[in-house]
Amino acid sequence: MNNQKNVLFITLDQMRADCLKGALEGHVDLPNMRALMRDAVAFQNHYTVTAPCGPARTSLLTGQYSMNHRSVRNGTPMRHDTPNIATEMRKAGYLPMLFGYTDTSGDPRIHHPKDPAVQSYEMPMAGFHEMVEMRMEMSHPWRGHLVRKGYQFDGYESIYKPVSEDGGPGRLCDPAFFRAEDSDTAFLTDRFLETMPGYETESWFAHLTYIRPHWPPIAPEPYNRMYDPDTLPLPTRVGSAEEAAALHPFMGPAQKKDLPSKPNLGFPGYEVNHKSTQEARAVYLGLLTEVDHHIGRVIKYLKSSGQYETTLVIVTSDHGEMLGDHFAWGKQSVFDKAYHIPLIVRVPGLEHRAGALVDAPTESIDLVPTVLEWVGQEVPNSVDGSSLSPLLEGETPEIWRKYTFSEYDFYDVETPSPWHNALGFGATESCLSILRDGRYSLVEFGCDLPTILFDHESRGEFENVAEDADYAGEVLRLTRAMLRHRMAHMDQTLAMDQITNKGPIRELRHKPD
């Protein structure tokens, strides 16, 4: 009997949930993820608890809300002694292999200022064994691969310049200068598939993290023009950016935070209009289809090597993407598309649950306890999430969350944020919390900004009804629920320990069955 218990934890960057089920479902070809859904359990009401990339991945891999880990921006240090999935899997005897990145900022208290660990926010999280360095802004092995293949480029930023077919400046939907077989997505998958056969005789844990479909919207052929911009749904929004900004003082600065032209390394500036918006959406979907193709290669390897029936497979994203909805881009927002993410989990031995859909509210912090429980490792008291095991088995516990909860800090230490420039709020007050109960979404701010309440059975995210007297009771109910949620989930790293005259004792927050 094979006693192996492998874990394959796949994370995409910036994938919206509605690409698998929802508004964009019928407009993007994702055969491999959809095939996995038919063979697994998919979670329909799954949300990241924070954004952007660094904070989202810190929460994903520590199981903590950002109010507890406080690595709240790309570049905000993560405390060096915070337990995470890698440190705990080591206790279970696993080598936590990292193929890709965790976007972790090192703790400057334990590193010299010249140490590379504190020269970039894209460093690997403590406990991970970096198998291949593959990052958004500093992927040296991929760069070397391109050089060996004969590609010529001036610097890393030029890798993401599109190639015009008529010799003029590159435009949206023009292809990348590298072939699809040499893309960042292909390179990372190739390295994974070259490495894993050496681990087939032992239990393994691999965190495979794809950069795509994260910006820049540059794709190799054929993915650059796989989808016709003219046939795609338009963004969900009102008639003008000015009208969208009038919804709330937060919205105007949010429109300026992540324009598609801003995060493109080396991409020439362009005007954000109807044409460019639809083209950016089309390339985004093309990049997503490219990732799906390579996920298919990974699943095929598991099956052909006989490891599919011994491997817990997880496919998710760190956060979502606005894609022009409400005239916003990126993920630094209050709207659902920035936080609603896919989650597919296949557990060996639960074949009778193949194709099941779970509607119970779940959060990105639930994956750490799920994985640790599956391999038989104690879950640290610092973990705020709850194991998904009952839901995977088709049971909803009597005590399960009724809400999803997310946070976002919108101050920037290095460069003043659009909100700071427009509204003047400082670091400690520039934060917000979102509570969702299915019908309503409540947004509360740490600064002096009005409350937001969306009623999804009315006009949803197109109308803030917080000041409507008819909703006063709901605002009070949800505000109390948010306060209680925060109180119940304050950091428990040491709060359930007690020093006694017989030595330290500890009550377990996550009690084994």
Angstrom distances, CA of residue 483 to CA of 12, 39, 171: 32, 39, 48
Rounded CA-CA distance 379/45 in Å is 24
Whole-Å CA distances, 97 to 6, 42, 102, 208: 12, 25, 12, 8
What residues contact 329, with CB distance under 8 A and at least 6 apart?
257, 258, 259, 260, 321, 322, 323
- With beta carbons less than 8 A apart as the criterion, state whether 75 and 121 touch: yes
Catalytic residue among 53, 173, 431, 447: 53
> For residues 278 and 173, what is the distance between their CA atoms, to the nearest angstrom?
10
Question: Residue 208 pairs with which residues in a beta bridge?
Answer: 10, 99
Q: Rounded to whole angstroms, how far apart are CA atoms 202 and 260?
A: 44
Task: Give the C-alpha separation, 365 to 383, whole Å.
Answer: 8
Return the residue matching tokens 């440190």: 87
- Distance between CA atoms of 242 and 245, rounded to whole angstroms? 5
Token pair in block for residue 215: 């910006």
Identify whether 53 is a catalytic site residue. yes
> In the chain, what is the straight-line distance between the N-terminal and C-terminal CA atoms, in Å?
25
φ and ψ at 332, to 5 degrees?
-95, 80
Active site residue ranges: 53
